[in-house]
Structure 1
Protein backbone atom coordinates (compact mmCIF):
# COMPACT_ATOMS: atom_id res chain seq x y z
CA UNK A 1 0.00 0.00 0.00
CA UNK A 2 1.32 3.43 -0.88
CA UNK A 3 1.40 5.69 2.14
CA UNK A 4 3.63 8.72 2.66
CA UNK A 5 5.43 9.67 -0.58
CA UNK A 6 9.22 9.74 -0.22
CA UNK A 7 10.94 13.10 -0.02
CA UNK A 8 13.19 14.04 -2.93
CA UNK A 9 16.74 15.10 -2.18
CA UNK A 10 17.16 18.56 -3.66
CA UNK A 11 15.04 20.24 -6.28
CA UNK A 12 11.55 21.65 -5.98
CA UNK A 13 9.05 19.08 -7.32
CA UNK A 14 5.78 20.46 -8.67
CA UNK A 15 3.06 18.36 -7.06
CA UNK A 16 -0.67 18.51 -7.63
CA UNK A 17 -2.87 17.45 -4.70
CA UNK A 18 -6.25 15.92 -5.48
CA UNK A 19 -8.13 15.20 -2.27
CA UNK A 20 -11.38 13.36 -1.79
CA UNK A 21 -13.23 10.29 -0.62
CA UNK A 22 -12.62 8.42 -3.89
CA UNK A 23 -15.81 6.47 -3.20
CA UNK A 24 -15.02 5.04 -5.67
CA UNK A 25 -12.09 6.27 -7.75
CA UNK A 26 -13.06 6.52 -11.43
CA UNK A 27 -11.94 7.69 -14.85
CA UNK A 28 -13.00 11.25 -14.03
CA UNK A 29 -10.25 11.40 -11.39
CA UNK A 30 -7.72 10.09 -13.91
CA UNK A 31 -8.97 12.58 -16.51
CA UNK A 32 -8.54 15.65 -14.31
CA UNK A 33 -5.15 14.39 -13.05
CA UNK A 34 -3.84 14.00 -16.59
CA UNK A 35 -5.12 17.46 -17.47
CA UNK A 36 -3.42 18.91 -14.40
CA UNK A 37 -0.11 17.27 -15.30
CA UNK A 38 -0.31 18.74 -18.80
CA UNK A 39 -1.76 22.21 -18.20
CA UNK A 40 0.05 22.97 -14.93
CA UNK A 41 3.35 21.32 -15.92
CA UNK A 42 3.41 19.16 -12.79
CA UNK A 43 5.82 16.36 -11.94
CA UNK A 44 3.21 14.28 -10.12
CA UNK A 45 -0.36 14.32 -8.87
CA UNK A 46 -1.01 12.81 -5.44
CA UNK A 47 -4.45 11.38 -4.69
CA UNK A 48 -5.16 12.07 -1.02
CA UNK A 49 -7.74 9.42 -0.13
CA UNK A 50 -9.59 10.78 2.88
CA UNK A 51 -10.59 8.46 5.75
CA UNK A 52 -13.84 10.46 6.04
CA UNK A 53 -14.83 13.71 4.33
CA UNK A 54 -16.31 15.99 7.04
CA UNK A 55 -18.95 17.24 4.59
CA UNK A 56 -20.12 13.77 3.51
CA UNK A 57 -22.20 11.23 5.45
CA UNK A 58 -20.58 8.04 6.70
CA UNK A 59 -23.51 6.01 5.37
CA UNK A 60 -22.58 4.50 2.02
CA UNK A 61 -18.87 5.18 2.49
CA UNK A 62 -16.78 2.14 1.57
CA UNK A 63 -13.96 1.12 3.94
CA UNK A 64 -10.75 3.10 3.46
CA UNK A 65 -8.74 0.02 2.44
CA UNK A 66 -11.25 -0.76 -0.34
CA UNK A 67 -11.20 2.81 -1.63
CA UNK A 68 -7.40 2.81 -1.61
CA UNK A 69 -7.25 -0.46 -3.51
CA UNK A 70 -9.62 0.83 -6.19
CA UNK A 71 -7.71 4.12 -6.44
CA UNK A 72 -4.39 2.30 -6.85
CA UNK A 73 -5.88 0.21 -9.65
CA UNK A 74 -7.08 3.37 -11.42
CA UNK A 75 -3.90 5.45 -10.93
CA UNK A 76 -1.71 3.91 -13.58
CA UNK A 77 1.78 5.26 -14.21
CA UNK A 78 4.48 6.85 -12.11
CA UNK A 79 3.00 10.34 -12.39
CA UNK A 80 0.00 9.47 -10.17
CA UNK A 81 0.53 8.56 -6.52
CA UNK A 82 -2.17 7.24 -4.18
CA UNK A 83 -1.76 7.87 -0.46
CA UNK A 84 -3.72 7.72 2.79
CA UNK A 85 -1.38 10.25 4.35
CA UNK A 86 -4.32 12.02 6.04
CA UNK A 87 -4.90 8.89 8.11
CA UNK A 88 -1.21 8.82 9.06
CA UNK A 89 -1.12 12.54 9.87
CA UNK A 90 -4.39 12.40 11.77
CA UNK A 91 -5.77 15.39 9.85
CA UNK A 92 -9.44 15.75 9.00
CA UNK A 93 -9.64 19.12 7.28
CA UNK A 94 -7.89 20.19 4.09
CA UNK A 95 -6.34 23.24 5.72
CA UNK A 96 -4.64 21.04 8.34
CA UNK A 97 -3.47 18.52 5.73
CA UNK A 98 -1.90 21.27 3.62
CA UNK A 99 -0.19 22.80 6.64
CA UNK A 100 1.30 19.41 7.56
CA UNK A 101 2.41 18.64 4.00
CA UNK A 102 4.15 21.99 3.62
CA UNK A 103 6.04 21.33 6.86
CA UNK A 104 7.03 17.76 5.94
CA UNK A 105 7.98 18.57 2.34
CA UNK A 106 9.76 21.94 2.49
CA UNK A 107 10.54 23.37 -0.91
CA UNK A 108 7.85 21.38 -2.71
CA UNK A 109 5.60 23.47 -4.93
CA UNK A 110 2.14 22.15 -4.18
CA UNK A 111 -1.01 23.00 -6.13
CA UNK A 112 -4.45 22.11 -4.77
CA UNK A 113 -6.61 20.59 -7.52
CA UNK A 114 -10.39 20.54 -7.46
CA UNK A 115 -13.46 20.53 -9.63
CA UNK A 116 -15.84 23.42 -10.17
CA UNK A 117 -18.41 21.67 -7.95
CA UNK A 118 -16.04 22.00 -4.98
CA UNK A 119 -15.28 25.66 -5.65
CA UNK A 120 -19.01 26.38 -5.65
CA UNK A 121 -19.26 25.04 -2.08
CA UNK A 122 -15.80 25.91 -0.78
CA UNK A 123 -17.06 28.60 1.57
CA UNK A 124 -18.46 25.75 3.69
CA UNK A 125 -14.99 24.26 4.24
CA UNK A 126 -13.09 24.74 7.50
CA UNK A 127 -10.84 27.84 7.27
CA UNK A 128 -11.35 27.90 3.52
CA UNK A 129 -9.67 31.28 2.98
CA UNK A 130 -6.51 29.89 4.60
CA UNK A 131 -6.38 27.19 1.92
CA UNK A 132 -6.01 29.85 -0.78
CA UNK A 133 -3.20 31.44 1.22
CA UNK A 134 -1.33 28.16 1.75
CA UNK A 135 -1.03 26.89 -1.83
CA UNK A 136 -2.05 27.89 -5.36
CA UNK A 137 -5.38 26.41 -6.46
CA UNK A 138 -6.36 24.95 -9.84
CA UNK A 139 -10.07 24.55 -10.57
CA UNK A 140 -11.26 22.35 -13.43
CA UNK A 141 -14.62 22.73 -15.16
CA UNK A 142 -17.31 20.17 -14.32
CA UNK A 143 -20.55 19.59 -16.27
CA UNK A 144 -23.35 21.90 -14.99
CA UNK A 145 -21.19 23.44 -12.22
CA UNK A 146 -18.93 25.96 -13.95
CA UNK A 147 -21.25 28.98 -13.80
CA UNK A 148 -22.09 28.39 -10.13
CA UNK A 149 -18.39 28.09 -9.37
CA UNK A 150 -17.46 31.34 -11.08
CA UNK A 151 -20.08 33.33 -9.13
CA UNK A 152 -19.38 31.53 -5.84
CA UNK A 153 -18.32 33.14 -2.58
CA UNK A 154 -14.77 31.79 -2.95
CA UNK A 155 -14.37 33.00 -6.53
CA UNK A 156 -15.60 36.45 -5.55
CA UNK A 157 -13.34 36.72 -2.52
CA UNK A 158 -10.19 35.87 -4.50
CA UNK A 159 -11.17 37.27 -7.89
CA UNK A 160 -8.19 39.62 -8.14
CA UNK A 161 -5.79 36.70 -7.59
CA UNK A 162 -7.14 34.67 -10.51
CA UNK A 163 -4.70 33.97 -13.34
CA UNK A 164 -5.67 33.80 -16.98
CA UNK A 165 -5.91 30.19 -18.11
CA UNK A 166 -3.13 30.89 -20.62
CA UNK A 167 -0.79 31.29 -17.62
CA UNK A 168 -1.76 27.99 -15.97
CA UNK A 169 1.74 26.57 -16.42
CA UNK A 170 3.05 29.32 -14.10
CA UNK A 171 0.63 28.57 -11.26
CA UNK A 172 2.94 26.29 -9.26
CA UNK A 173 5.56 29.06 -9.20
CA UNK A 174 3.18 31.71 -7.89
CA UNK A 175 3.07 32.86 -4.29
CA UNK A 176 -0.43 32.21 -2.91
CA UNK A 177 -3.11 33.35 -3.09
CA UNK A 178 -3.20 32.48 -6.78
CA UNK A 179 -5.70 30.37 -8.69
CA UNK A 180 -6.84 29.47 -12.16
CA UNK A 181 -10.10 28.20 -13.64
CA UNK A 182 -9.55 25.85 -16.57
CA UNK A 183 -12.28 25.23 -19.15
CA UNK A 184 -10.75 21.93 -20.20
CA UNK A 185 -12.41 18.97 -21.97
CA UNK A 186 -15.14 17.65 -19.69
CA UNK A 187 -15.65 14.18 -18.26
CA UNK A 188 -19.12 13.48 -16.89
CA UNK A 189 -18.14 10.57 -14.64
CA UNK A 190 -18.78 10.98 -10.94
CA UNK A 191 -18.62 8.70 -7.93
CA UNK A 192 -22.31 9.37 -7.23
CA UNK A 193 -23.33 8.13 -10.68
CA UNK A 194 -21.14 5.05 -10.34
CA UNK A 195 -22.64 4.18 -6.94
CA UNK A 196 -26.14 4.70 -8.34
CA UNK A 197 -25.43 2.39 -11.28
CA UNK A 198 -23.96 -0.23 -8.94
CA UNK A 199 -27.02 -0.04 -6.69
CA UNK A 200 -29.32 -0.29 -9.71
CA UNK A 201 -27.49 -3.36 -11.02
CA UNK A 202 -27.60 -4.95 -7.59
CA UNK A 203 -31.35 -4.31 -7.41
CA UNK A 204 -31.86 -5.80 -10.87
CA UNK A 205 -29.91 -8.93 -9.95
CA UNK A 206 -31.91 -9.31 -6.74
CA UNK A 207 -35.15 -8.91 -8.70
CA UNK A 208 -34.08 -11.60 -11.18
CA UNK A 209 -33.19 -13.97 -8.36
CA UNK A 210 -36.61 -13.49 -6.80
CA UNK A 211 -38.33 -14.19 -10.13
CA UNK A 212 -36.45 -17.47 -10.43
CA UNK A 213 -37.66 -18.65 -7.03
Structure 2
Protein backbone atom coordinates (compact mmCIF):
# COMPACT_ATOMS: atom_id res chain seq x y z
CA UNK A 1 0.00 0.00 0.00
CA UNK A 2 1.38 3.39 -1.00
CA UNK A 3 1.17 6.27 1.47
CA UNK A 4 -0.74 9.36 0.38
CA UNK A 5 -0.05 12.95 1.40
CA UNK A 6 -2.82 14.39 3.59
CA UNK A 7 -3.53 17.98 4.62
CA UNK A 8 -4.41 16.85 8.16
CA UNK A 9 -3.56 13.85 10.32
CA UNK A 10 -6.44 11.35 10.22
CA UNK A 11 -8.18 10.83 13.57
CA UNK A 12 -10.15 7.93 14.98
CA UNK A 13 -9.79 4.56 16.67
CA UNK A 14 -9.41 2.83 13.30
CA UNK A 15 -6.11 4.54 12.62
CA UNK A 16 -2.65 3.33 13.61
CA UNK A 17 0.40 5.53 13.46
CA UNK A 18 4.04 4.74 12.77
CA UNK A 19 7.14 6.71 11.73
CA UNK A 20 7.79 7.40 8.06
CA UNK A 21 11.04 5.50 7.65
CA UNK A 22 13.56 6.76 5.12
CA UNK A 23 14.60 3.36 3.77
CA UNK A 24 13.79 0.60 1.28
CA UNK A 25 10.43 -1.16 1.50
CA UNK A 26 11.12 -4.90 1.43
CA UNK A 27 9.07 -8.09 1.40
CA UNK A 28 11.15 -10.92 2.87
CA UNK A 29 9.84 -14.44 2.17
CA UNK A 30 11.25 -17.62 3.65
CA UNK A 31 10.10 -20.99 2.32
CA UNK A 32 12.24 -23.65 3.93
CA UNK A 33 15.83 -23.00 2.89
CA UNK A 34 14.80 -20.55 0.16
CA UNK A 35 14.85 -16.85 1.04
CA UNK A 36 13.86 -13.97 -1.20
CA UNK A 37 13.83 -10.23 -0.55
CA UNK A 38 11.79 -8.13 -2.95
CA UNK A 39 11.69 -4.37 -3.33
CA UNK A 40 8.50 -2.52 -4.30
CA UNK A 41 9.55 -2.77 -7.93
CA UNK A 42 10.12 -6.53 -7.62
CA UNK A 43 13.91 -6.29 -7.56
CA UNK A 44 15.75 -9.01 -5.63
CA UNK A 45 17.65 -7.42 -2.72
CA UNK A 46 19.34 -10.51 -1.23
CA UNK A 47 22.64 -9.74 -2.95
CA UNK A 48 22.77 -6.26 -1.46
CA UNK A 49 21.58 -7.17 2.04
CA UNK A 50 23.04 -10.63 2.55
CA UNK A 51 23.32 -10.13 6.31
CA UNK A 52 19.53 -9.65 6.54
CA UNK A 53 18.93 -12.84 4.54
CA UNK A 54 21.36 -14.70 6.81
CA UNK A 55 19.52 -13.46 9.89
CA UNK A 56 16.22 -14.68 8.42
CA UNK A 57 17.79 -18.07 7.69
CA UNK A 58 18.77 -18.37 11.35
CA UNK A 59 15.18 -17.91 12.60
CA UNK A 60 13.34 -20.92 13.96
CA UNK A 61 10.34 -20.36 11.66
CA UNK A 62 10.83 -22.18 8.36
CA UNK A 63 7.99 -20.38 6.60
CA UNK A 64 7.37 -16.68 7.05
CA UNK A 65 6.67 -13.40 5.30
CA UNK A 66 8.02 -10.13 6.67
CA UNK A 67 6.89 -6.79 5.27
CA UNK A 68 9.20 -4.06 6.50
CA UNK A 69 11.73 -1.35 5.83
CA UNK A 70 15.47 -1.77 5.31
CA UNK A 71 17.38 0.94 7.18
CA UNK A 72 21.00 1.78 7.88
CA UNK A 73 21.93 3.69 10.99
CA UNK A 74 25.05 5.86 10.96
CA UNK A 75 26.17 7.93 13.95
CA UNK A 76 22.78 7.54 15.59
CA UNK A 77 20.77 8.61 12.55
CA UNK A 78 19.21 6.75 9.63
CA UNK A 79 21.05 7.56 6.41
CA UNK A 80 19.27 7.04 3.10
CA UNK A 81 22.39 8.13 1.19
CA UNK A 82 24.44 5.33 2.76
CA UNK A 83 21.58 2.92 2.09
CA UNK A 84 21.63 3.85 -1.60
CA UNK A 85 25.33 2.98 -1.77
CA UNK A 86 24.40 -0.64 -1.09
CA UNK A 87 22.80 -0.91 -4.53
CA UNK A 88 26.10 -1.23 -6.34
CA UNK A 89 27.16 -3.66 -9.10
CA UNK A 90 30.56 -4.44 -7.54
CA UNK A 91 30.41 -7.27 -5.00
CA UNK A 92 33.49 -5.90 -3.21
CA UNK A 93 31.72 -2.55 -2.68
CA UNK A 94 28.65 -4.26 -1.22
CA UNK A 95 30.83 -6.40 1.08
CA UNK A 96 32.71 -3.32 2.28
CA UNK A 97 29.49 -1.49 3.10
CA UNK A 98 28.12 -4.49 4.98
CA UNK A 99 31.25 -4.51 7.13
CA UNK A 100 31.30 -0.76 7.71
CA UNK A 101 27.67 0.05 8.47
CA UNK A 102 25.91 -0.33 11.77
CA UNK A 103 23.39 -2.73 10.29
CA UNK A 104 25.87 -5.60 10.38
CA UNK A 105 28.00 -4.78 13.41
CA UNK A 106 25.49 -3.91 16.09
CA UNK A 107 27.22 -4.38 19.44
CA UNK A 108 24.45 -3.16 21.75
CA UNK A 109 20.90 -4.50 21.76
CA UNK A 110 18.80 -2.05 23.76
CA UNK A 111 20.12 -2.20 27.34
CA UNK A 112 21.91 -5.53 27.14
CA UNK A 113 25.68 -5.64 26.93
CA UNK A 114 27.10 -8.35 24.72
CA UNK A 115 30.42 -10.16 24.75
CA UNK A 116 31.39 -8.38 21.55
CA UNK A 117 30.62 -5.00 23.08
CA UNK A 118 32.61 -5.81 26.23
CA UNK A 119 35.54 -7.08 24.20
CA UNK A 120 35.54 -3.93 22.09
CA UNK A 121 35.51 -1.49 24.98
CA UNK A 122 37.88 -3.68 26.97
CA UNK A 123 40.56 -3.00 24.35
CA UNK A 124 40.07 0.77 24.50
CA UNK A 125 42.41 3.04 26.43
CA UNK A 126 40.38 5.84 28.09
CA UNK A 127 43.47 8.10 28.09
CA UNK A 128 43.87 7.67 24.32
CA UNK A 129 40.16 8.34 23.81
CA UNK A 130 40.46 11.53 25.85
CA UNK A 131 43.24 12.74 23.54
CA UNK A 132 41.01 12.15 20.50
CA UNK A 133 38.13 13.92 22.24
CA UNK A 134 40.29 16.95 23.09
CA UNK A 135 41.49 17.16 19.48
CA UNK A 136 37.95 16.84 18.10
CA UNK A 137 36.65 19.54 20.44
CA UNK A 138 39.49 21.85 19.37
CA UNK A 139 38.69 21.30 15.69
CA UNK A 140 34.99 21.87 16.36
CA UNK A 141 35.77 25.17 18.08
CA UNK A 142 37.99 26.22 15.17
CA UNK A 143 35.15 25.38 12.80
CA UNK A 144 32.77 27.67 14.70
CA UNK A 145 35.24 30.55 14.46
CA UNK A 146 35.78 29.88 10.75
CA UNK A 147 32.05 29.93 10.03
CA UNK A 148 31.66 33.21 11.93
CA UNK A 149 34.32 34.84 9.82
CA UNK A 150 32.82 33.59 6.56
CA UNK A 151 29.40 34.90 7.58
CA UNK A 152 30.74 38.46 7.48
CA UNK A 153 32.15 37.90 3.98
CA UNK A 154 28.65 37.61 2.52
CA UNK A 155 28.00 41.30 3.27
CA UNK A 156 30.63 42.22 0.64
CA UNK A 157 29.99 39.81 -2.26
CA UNK A 158 32.43 41.50 -4.68
CA UNK A 159 35.41 41.27 -2.34
CA UNK A 160 38.23 39.13 -3.80
CA UNK A 161 36.07 38.47 -6.86
CA UNK A 162 33.51 36.18 -5.16
CA UNK A 163 29.82 36.66 -5.81
CA UNK A 164 27.04 36.11 -3.29
CA UNK A 165 26.27 32.60 -4.54
CA UNK A 166 29.88 31.46 -4.13
CA UNK A 167 30.05 33.00 -0.67
CA UNK A 168 26.90 31.18 0.37
CA UNK A 169 28.24 27.90 -1.02
CA UNK A 170 31.38 28.30 1.08
CA UNK A 171 29.34 29.11 4.17
CA UNK A 172 27.01 26.14 3.64
CA UNK A 173 29.98 23.80 3.16
CA UNK A 174 31.63 25.04 6.33
CA UNK A 175 28.38 24.75 8.26
CA UNK A 176 27.90 21.15 7.09
CA UNK A 177 31.50 20.33 8.01
CA UNK A 178 30.99 21.88 11.43
CA UNK A 179 27.92 19.71 12.04
CA UNK A 180 29.94 16.60 11.16
CA UNK A 181 32.71 17.62 13.57
CA UNK A 182 30.26 18.19 16.41
CA UNK A 183 28.62 14.83 15.76
CA UNK A 184 32.05 13.16 15.97
CA UNK A 185 32.68 14.93 19.27
CA UNK A 186 29.43 13.56 20.69
CA UNK A 187 30.31 10.06 19.49
CA UNK A 188 33.76 10.23 21.10
CA UNK A 189 32.24 11.46 24.36
CA UNK A 190 29.87 8.47 24.39
CA UNK A 191 32.70 6.01 23.68
CA UNK A 192 34.88 7.54 26.39
CA UNK A 193 32.03 7.30 28.88
CA UNK A 194 31.35 3.66 27.95
CA UNK A 195 35.04 2.72 28.10
CA UNK A 196 35.36 4.25 31.56
CA UNK A 197 32.51 2.17 33.00
CA UNK A 198 33.28 -1.19 34.63
CA UNK A 199 32.46 -4.09 32.35
CA UNK A 200 29.68 -6.46 33.39
TM range (shorter): under 0.3
TM-score (norm 1): 0.20
Point out which structure has higher relative CO (alpha carbons under 8 A, 6+ apart). Answer: 1
TM-score by length of 2: 0.21
Kindly name which structure, 1 or 2, has the bigger radius of gyration based on alpha carbons: 2
